Amino acid sequence: MNFLERAWYEGRPWLYLLWPLSMLFRGLAAYRRRRHSADASRLGKQPVIVIGNITVGGTGKTALLIALAQELKQRGMSPGIISRGYGATAANYPLVVEADSNPDECGDEPVLIAASTECPVVVDPDRPAALAHLLAEHKVNVVLSDDGLQHYRLHRDIEIAVIDGARMFGNGLLLPAGPLREPQQRLHEVDFVVVNGEAADALELPIPQYEAAMEAHSLVNLATDEERSFTGAPFHVGNTLQLVSGIGNPERFYALMESLPYPLARIEFPDHHKFNEEDFAGERIDAHQPIVMTEKDAVKCRRFATANFWALRAEMKLPPEFVKALLKRIRQAKAEAKAKT
């Protein structure tokens, strides 16, 4: 967490000096929404589900998308996934992402999604172009968009907003004075709200809201693919676990790891950091102790990982009532699309 993010969530009073810029941001965001919403058009009969948030930083939306894709596949559906590919450097788009794709070219989250779901994944900064390519090249009957709640050029049938239950909305101000991309009233317009963890503050919303939770499953070695149960003592007595993170909000990762009976050393890098071997060669890292990271960071380290690199395999547990309600809404969206054609 950088200096500004820390100030948002600590409620620093000096942030109100940035309030005029927040009002300017609000006006520009409203203008973009009006302008681009008029351009959004349906590209197929398949329902499009956007999973996003109204704050910057990690809330668990990618974990939710992965869990949803797996749930839909278990029910015989064929989901496809689109993403902007944050930090991607590919020369040409759209780009089809595989489990072994280079995360520097397509982004770390799309690689993790492809590996975790085995669904077709297409990356393009222009999300409607990603959607068009996905529908043209793959037989899918429902589309999940990783992020994109504010990408109004993308037609959507269902919106799911994800909230970090611990951090909520910080000081409640819009960028740059606070973490909000849009006013909190935007949550009144989505179809579902999913709170990642127990909500620190009560939410009074006119739409369904559900509580999900991240659960640790196992630890996977990046060099050998050995998998160890997360319960008990997966490492030797006397080990210190070096928790390396390059994600927006590593606190939930830390909280999961704190249940293990080992001393922990936190080593933080910026969000979406492009890891390389030099990051692990300095004095901050002990080459003789285990290095543990999230699966999102692990996809960027596999090519140079040694036997002391481990990834925490965790998954989001979805409330059955949420899955049931979403399936009903998908059926409604399909019927509405069919009626319009």
Whether residues 264 and 335 share a domain: the answer is no
pLDDT tens digits, residue range 147-201?
999 999 999 999 999 999 999 999 999 999 999 999 999 999 999 999 999 888 8
Pairing of strands 95-97, 121-123: antiparallel
Note the Cα 176 to chain centre separation in Å: 21
Cβ burial of 71 (10 Å; 0-12, 13-18, 19+) is middle
In the structure, what pLDDT confidence band is assigned to residue 33 with cuts at 50, 70 and 90? very high
> By C-alpha distance, which of 140, 74, 148, 54 is closest to 318?
74
Do residues 305 and 330 both lie within one domain?
no
Angle between helices 61-74 and 108-117 (to 10 degrees): 20
Residues 116, 194 share a domain: yes
**Same domain for 70 and 169:** yes
Query: Distance between CA 208 and CA 192 in Å, rounded?
Result: 5
Same domain flag for 262 and 293: yes
In total, how many domains does the chain have?
Answer: 2
Q: Are strands 79-83 and 121-123 parallel, antiparallel or unpaired?
A: parallel
Separation of alpha carbons 109 and 115, rounded Å? 10
Q: Looking at the whole model, is its pTM more than 0.85? A: yes
Which of 317, 314, 296 has its CA nearest to residue 217? 314
Task: Note whether 32 and 74 are same-domain residues.
Answer: yes
| Cα 128-315-301 angle, rounded to 5 deg | 75
Are 165 and 109 found together in one domain?
yes
pLDDT for 1: 67
Cα separation, 172 vs 168, whole angstroms: 9
| pLDDT tens digits for range 53-82 | 999 988 999 999 999 999 999 999 999 999
The pLDDT of residue 279 is 96
Q: Do 27 and 124 share a structural domain?
A: yes
Q: Are residues 242 and 150 in the same domain?
A: no
Indicate whether 58 and 68 sit together in one domain: yes
What is residue 314's three-state secondary structure? Answer: strand
Phi, psi at 262, each rounded to 5°: -135, 150
Instruction: Retrieve residue 121's tokens.
Output: 């994944």
Residue 254 parent element (H or E): helix 251-257
Question: Which uninterrupted H or E stretch holds 115?
Answer: helix 108-117
Lowest-confidence pick of 130-134, 202-206, 224-228, 239-243: 202-206
b/e burial code for range 242-257 (CB count within 10 A of at least 16 → b): bbbbbbbbbebbeebb
CATH number at residue 64: 3.40.50.300
- My answer on whether 335 and 202 are in the same domain is yes
Mean pLDDT for the stretch of residues 222-240: 94
Instruction: Assess whether pLDDT exceeds 70 at residue 341.
Output: no
249 and 125 share a domain?
A: no
Find the domain containing 221 and state its range.
214-315
Measured from the Cβ of residue 197, the count of other Cβ atoms closer than 10 Å reads: 18
DSSP run (H or E) holding 241: strand 241-245
